[in-house]
Amino acid sequence: MKRFVLLDTAVIPDNGGALCLFEYGDDFVIKIQGGHGGQLMNTRMHGSEDALAEIPCKKVAARPNPRVLIGGLGMGFTLASALRHLGDNGAVVVAELVPGVIEWNRGPLGEKSGNPLRDPRAQVVNEDVAKVLQAEPHGFDAIMLDVDNGPEGLTQEANNWLYSLDGLNACAQALRPRGILAVWSASADRSFSARLNKAGFKAEEVKVYAHGNKGTRHTIWIAEKRQG
């Protein structure tokens, strides 16, 4: 019988909590220490994480030297998908707040996603994605956010700013003309769609399966910046 085996614990900076990496049979699972919120992610179900990068990267891949930003490394599947769909001239910056998550992806966990951190087109920075995007106005053709459980922060209350009107305005400033903002969420949120519109994005909600073509579906907002 399969059981959860704790492999490591990683402190969440400025939070007081921690993330736990478990081995579960042939898979890996990340949970919040103490069990609040259940599983954050696992290596068996990552269809929506793949789609988070596939959809926007296909839209910008033909641009000269496309450069994209991913907020949240997770288990590396969004990064791997971005690299697959950008082409040889693309570049991906990944902002990950928790140092332990980066180390997990450089270890055995990375094998599940094809070790995308070894790709020379990928750069990972141990930083809050909000600081990275604020530091680079017009620096990206696409921004992909997979932080917490979506617009409602779960592991880090400060992440709520990222999904506020101010945070979305900052995303717009960090995007190049006709840039794409893609946001992952465990569920739909009508008020968030309204905020995207107010921040100058033309947005649509896309429903994608977490695994295969049945079962749990997640929401991805694909929002195009209206102005330069």
Q: Model confidence over 63-115: pLDDT tens digits?
A: 999 999 999 999 999 999 999 999 999 999 999 999 999 999 999 899 999 99
Between CA 124 and CA 117 the distance in angstroms is 8
Query: Residue 150's domain is classified under what CATH number?
Result: 3.40.50.150
**Is 12 among the domain residues?**
no
Partners of 124 in beta bridges: 94
**Is 29 among the domain residues?**
no
**Is 10 among the domain residues?**
no
**Is 129 among the domain residues?**
yes
**Is 176 among the domain residues?**
yes
Range of the domain at 212: 44-225
**Is 49 among the domain residues?**
yes
C-beta separation of 91 from 116 below 8 A? no
Between CA 24 and CA 3 the distance in angstroms is 6
Number of domains in the chain: 1
**Is 28 among the domain residues?**
no
- What confidence tens digit (pLDDT) does each residue in 164-221 have? 899 999 999 999 999 999 999 877 777 888 999 999 999 999 988 776 676 688 899 9
How distant is the alpha carbon of residue 21 from its chain centre?
18
